[in-house]
Chains A and B, each alone.
Chain A
């Protein structure tokens, strides 16, 4: 699976949009981009995933560049409860046993 690069930490004011970048320059054609977050002492929570089109759900939006070498997770109106470590992971869906391998993620701190 391709590796990802994320900034180690970011801050965001409550109510503002949080834009979390991720580089995945070695992504292959059949690999999806997944985003998870982990709030302290909890299991990771699925946020969103996409292949090449931009995606939006009730939690966030995912913007994937045309060359698919990077993406941005957007939390449109960050709240204090969005403080967490955010993981960007690329994974193929070819096989049921394809694994999610976690990197170090971005620690997002939302402040009042």
Chain B
């Protein structure tokens, strides 16, 4: 299957700082990428849909000014957690849709964020 990478795999930061997470589709182009968040012992929760060259679409209850998404190319989307607080500590997972594979969605390995 298609490969999606994320960087960094884990990050620890101080409260009030911003953290950027990169998501790349390595062997296919993705006009659409998705960002999810997962708290311990819970399922994945969709945060936003990232569209190449246009603004992201956020799910209800997700603050767009808090979670900035940029999808500047067909292989890269970034999520920036601005002014992070301890409650933002979570497992962030991106995914990308491979239009060449029947629109199957592939997931990255996730980024674990810990805000102190």
Binds A, one of B63-71, B82-90, B98-106: B98-106
CB within 8 Å of B: which A68-112 residues: 87, 93, 96-105
- CB–CB B44/A45 < 8 A: no
The smallest C-beta distance from A45 to any residue of chain B, in angstroms, reads 7
Binds A, one of B14-22, B72-80, B107-115: B107-115
- Choose among B46, B91, B112 the residue that contacts A101 (Cβ–Cβ < 8 A): B46
CA distance A103 to B116 in the complex (A): 30
CA distance A97 to B71 in the complex (A): 14
Residue of B nearest to A42 (CB): B109
CA distance A52 to B49 in the complex (A): 27
Contact with A along B6-41 (1 / 0, CB 8 A): 100000000000000000000000011010100000
- CB–CB A93/B108 < 8 A: no
The smallest C-beta distance from B63 to any residue of chain A, in angstroms, reads 19
- Choose among A38, A43, A97, A101 the residue that contacts B32 (Cβ–Cβ < 8 A): A97
- Choose among A34, A87, A99, A105 the residue that contacts B46 (Cβ–Cβ < 8 A): A99
Contact with B along A41-60 (1 / 0, CB 8 A): 11111100100000000000
- CB–CB A46/B110 < 8 A: no
- CB–CB A93/B110 < 8 A: no
- Choose among A43, A96, A99, A104 the residue that contacts B107 (Cβ–Cβ < 8 A): A43
Enumerate 12 A-B pairs (CB-CB under 8 Å) in ascending A order.
Answer: A34-B104, A41-B112, A42-B109, A44-B93, A44-B95, A49-B104, A96-B32, A97-B51, A100-B34, A101-B46, A102-B44, A105-B43
* Contacts from B to A (Cβ < 8 Å): 1, 4, 6, 31-32, 34, 36, 43-46, 49, 51, 57, 91, 93, 95, 97, 99, 102-110, 112
